[in-house]
Amino acid sequence: MAAARSIGSVTISFGLVAIPVKLYSATQSSNAISFNLLHKGCGSRLRQQYVCLKHGTVVERDDMVKGYEFAKDQYVTFEPQEIKALEEAGTHAIDITEFVPIESVDPVYFDKTYYLAPDKGGAKPYALLTEALKQANRCAIGHWAARGKAYLVMLRPVGDRLTLQQLHFAADVRPASEIEVPPQEVKPTELKLAQQLINQQTAEKFEATAYTDDLRARIQAAIDKKVEGQQISVADFPSEGGGKVIDLMEALRASLEKADAARASTAQLGPRRAPKRAEQPPPQEQPAAAKPSRKAGKR
């Protein structure tokens, strides 16, 4: 993998302290597989065109103007210089406004992530801010203006480095209360089995490297076959269908048995990331949860 390249420079500012830093993208969009639209007849790439809905003619870029629909089919138009004047002026500065506990920021607000590294003359204050945030278990909240937009950002320490997390504004996040969830009775025996399943599959921490993008691998395998001139079949890439849950208790018990088998298989292969299982009596020693006549799925 090629060395990371800086995509810009900014200054972290709080109080009278200014820390010059370099900005690095934390994710790689180049890993994504994308398809192009081609002409089915000759295989050539297609070019996107804009068509006037009223006249049905292709409109060239020089004849386009941006507009805002304030009522049905009614627009106010803006010239490029007017839109430019309305955009946020880039300041190349991240202005910190407050420090808050890291756990108080709900991940639902997380957007794009960047890494920050000290720029020339910024190594000492960078290290100081990083260590101070770690010791306080807090993150910094601030504003950042770039590319004509205003961003709400969070600076959080990750090891001996700082991460810049773009955050959604509150107005952009839909409240969870808008989603209707019908109330349900949770029986003690159901809860006990569910907790057993959670304990059985509990690990010390999340290890991202233990997970891979299986869908991307399947698509890449199909592409490789096509490039080699081979034909592919849908049967080459089977998908697992989900079964309909009839009895919640039976489903929980089956899940425990499946997790037991997977855990045993992992143990045979070695100690690689085998989840720790909490001490508990075997399922057969729990008569309340083993009664087959209890149909928890029925309401």
Cβ neighbourhood burial of 142 (10 Å; 0-12, 13-18, 19+): buried
pLDDT confidence of residue 12: 93
Q: What is the pTM of this model?
A: 0.69
Selected residue with higher pLDDT from 268 and 54: 54
Single-letter amino acid, residue 26: A
pLDDT tens track for 28-49: 766 678 899 999 999 999 998 9
DSSP SS3 for 165: strand
pLDDT confidence of residue 40: 92
Kind of pairing between the strands at 8-14 and 93-101: parallel
On the question of pLDDT at 50 being above 90, the answer is yes
pLDDT tens track for 238-282: 665 555 555 777 777 787 788 777 777 766 665 544 444 444 444
Instruction: For residues 274 and 272, give the distance between their C-alpha atoms in angstroms, rounded to a whole number.
Output: 6
Q: Which CATH architecture has domain 8-26+87-172?
A: Beta Barrel (2.40)
Q: How many CA atoms lie within 13 A of 289 on its CB side?
A: 24
Q: Which of 33-42, 84-93, 281-290 has the highest mean pLDDT?
A: 33-42
Q: Which helix (H) or strand (E) holds 84?
A: helix 80-86
Selected residue with higher pLDDT from 113 and 282: 113
Question: Which backbone phi and psi does 99 adopt, to 5 degrees?
Answer: -120, 130
Q: Percent of the chain beyond pLDDT 70? A: 81
CA angle, 154 then 159 then 163, to 5°: 25
**In the chain, what are the domain boundaries?**
8-26+87-172, 186-203+246-299
Selected residue with higher pLDDT from 57 and 298: 57
pLDDT confidence of residue 113: 94
